[in-house]
A and B are shown apart, each in its own frame.
Chain A
Amino acid sequence: KAGVTQTPRYLIKTRGQQVTLSCSPISGHRSVSWYQQTPGQGLQFLFEYFSETQRNKGNFPGRFSGRQFSNSRSEMNVSTLELGDSALYLCASSLGDRVTNEKLFFGSGTQLSVL
């Protein structure tokens, strides 16, 4: 059974650009969560989707958005990139509607560098 797949692994962008990251959950998983990991702020929750609906959102500006498709694959978008958006973006999937009470499976992340 394939794990959580995140693409691309690495991405380099310049300030002001926008970026889209992709996450394919484990087959059968309906919940997808996104986290940002930086040396300064650590791991912070971005948002969580279940059955194509955003159920939870962290404290990030509106430049950060996401969506989930009918096959549970999820994308997150960051518009008007800032230097501080440089981070490892981790996606996690789980089976059902009690996401953090179940085992979360993480991908290997997308390392975004903003120049």
Chain B
Amino acid sequence: AQTVTQSQPEMSVQEAETVTLSCTYDTSENNYYLFWYKQPPSRQMILVIRQEAYKQQNATENRFSVNFQKAAKSFSLKISDSQLGDTAMYFCASNFGNEKLTFGTGTRLTIIP
């Protein structure tokens, strides 16, 4: 079965600190994409960052970066210099080589002023 697992239901961190959200997945596919989405209270899902599985270099988008370990099937998200606007639900997802996304259960992140 192709699954995405987020083992941290909730996390909190002080403003300006760094936080890492964990994600593991299971698939027998070799070519796929991995994503982190943010869902603020407005409910709109916003793409934070994406990683192509065949690329070894970790993706980076400003304060957001990933640690992609393909052999371990791990895809963690690091948020540096966290801001109040980063407070949201964060979902890890993958397409597993097909045309639909499989999501994890999410991590509720709270940034404390």
Q: Which residues of A contact B (CB under 8 A)?
A: 33, 35, 42-45, 48, 55-56, 58, 88, 90, 92, 98-101, 103-104, 106-109, 111
Contact = CB atoms under 8 A, between A and B. Distances in A.
Contacts of B43: 88, 90, 108-109, 111
A100 B95 contact: yes
Interface of B: 33, 37, 42-47, 50, 91, 93, 95, 98-106
A34 B39 CA distance: 16
B45 A90 contact: yes
Contacts, number: 52
Nearest to A109: B43
Contacts of B37: 106
A106 B45 contact: yes
Given A42-B106, A43-B91, A104 B99 contact: no
A33 B95 CA distance: 13
A49 B47 CA distance: 20
Nearest to B99: A56
Contacts of B45: 90, 92, 104, 106
